[in-house]
Structure 1
């Protein structure tokens, strides 16, 4: 799909016209490009076939909204089109997945991804961080940019579409009139800070963290003390760094107990709508979530929790996207979506440095050639990195993740070993034995990978069918 537009990259070349579906699974197919050609806003409706057999209330409200919004046919440009992506919350509920897929789409006025696009649906779910069993409506603009990661609640609040497309307010506007609350340990950690009012706009210029968490959540309670230690460490290096806690607690009492041991600021408990708006703004799918914003309010990373776990002394803070990364579980997960050049080495620090040294020139040259900018704001980087040309560069050290991947692919247990793993195209290739691994030889290997000149081998079916490389742990 070398020259595919963003619509085809997301949804594939063809869509089902739902209104033509029959119980016997006959249907009319439409070209994705033609369906979405002159659409101002595209909605992606993630639903789950085995949550309810009958049409649920949300789908009915969405159908009413869809028909109302598109009732004006006088313009050449259609305001809104919808593509439904039917998923399954549990794969053991239905014996006939295809029939349940059909039943979910009967008599609906919009379009849907075909049942057969299983891999593409899984990729979409990962891209938009869809939580299993949670119906989600994602809104895209005419260029494929994300307007909202979680518009499903906005539709219920505004069923007439008066404020559609529900463009989220930037964080500084959301918090403009909100007085932040010092948590229990805040004044101890900020000696000399005696302000009675703490407004977001008045905080020192610096990187901001937003911590979505709750006292009832065991992983949250385990992570909070770790985050507090790193927070103290970082503030010694960057006094302008601050964290704002966004509670998902179920009672004011639980909230009060939880914030007592926190050294940062908090959205007050009573600001329920503000907390909900922040969660919608960043598409929060689960807790604990720690995200970071730069000095201009642009998103640096949604996954600072995992970054902190892999970098507990915050050497790489603020964890911007990097050209070369260590092969960990989260990068292994992305192998189903994007190919990777992986250099397997021993786990010693000198070997890791060697891996980064020889991979970095090739990675820099590759990303420059394909206009992928790691210094761009994360929102812009995510859009770019979904391009067909995105390629990961990874150093595989002596870990369980590397061992599992080697075993699944069928790689010899030798180091150093340079491999191109391309799960989306069901193939892999190994640099010829005896060739010295240098910056130049890696560049040459990557160029040959792009041209298809390597000696590729087929990847075994068990790797292709796994939802996640690390499922085999």
Structure 2
């Protein structure tokens, strides 16, 4: 009978003199004031037979990368939940830190085991064995050492502890559950919790029933976040213009802030509604919509169904003309863009870039891009430098040309 993971056996072959592979383990103790308090890190000999029959997540990460700093608490919570449920899940940290001190500092924030920082050969072997090209990465192995998933980070972020045991069968079940939820989705179902049927309007409560029948943007944002600050100003302008036209449009802020003070500071700069601060509920909503970054604007239609998760891109591209964000409206805007593009020259010599820029469409080399002039998103029609990939909006090209002509 196979007692150890094939992977672990391979690591032990590298160091045959060791009967029990040495893993670094945080020493933890219970505290009446804190569920778990980490006092220090010690080197402990851990008999890997203790991991027999468990699923193991190999967590490739480093303290110097902000995405690892962000994901580690998420994994910590899932790990703790699975431990409480007795699910048979263990995590082993495989570090990419710069030095021992950085490793120790980062590992102290983790309740699980780690490959010792000094064991460079094993860390390299694991990284090469699973072809790790970016961090954070969570590779999940099954109880018999079989590779179950290399997408552990995405699965944990999207489904939390429900993703366990991370098999394709389990993920298929979760996808089907999501499909059924989305098909029967209503605005009240999305935003109400334990009898709370209202949103916050800067100190006043607004019943969710008042939003039914409107197009609603769920705005996932946080403080401090430079891209959020920039897009909030853009969205506020669009919001004001649509309200002035009496369009049935509302925005609800869904806070991704880590504390209520940041939430209040962030919300203070917004003219719309907000969910009351509830970090757990907001993150569950973010997982429901698979929010990968902030800011994100999810558009909910008058029937309570999701219209698009690309509200941010559409606002950046079309401003208030994107409303009501439906496929029909976007098709009309595309036709309008196609017509307007006929008035632009097929190429021009860009003064600032010192290269000739050519007019391209989505069908002739264009596509999603970030405008190199205004740093906003673009799609389809653009002026593009075929040599170096410099790409700008048509209007930015025209404004730049007019500006240079005026200076002359």
TM norm structure 2: 0.47
Q: State the structure with more CA Rg.
A: 2
Greater relative contact order, per chain length (Cα 8 Å cut-off, separation 6+): 1
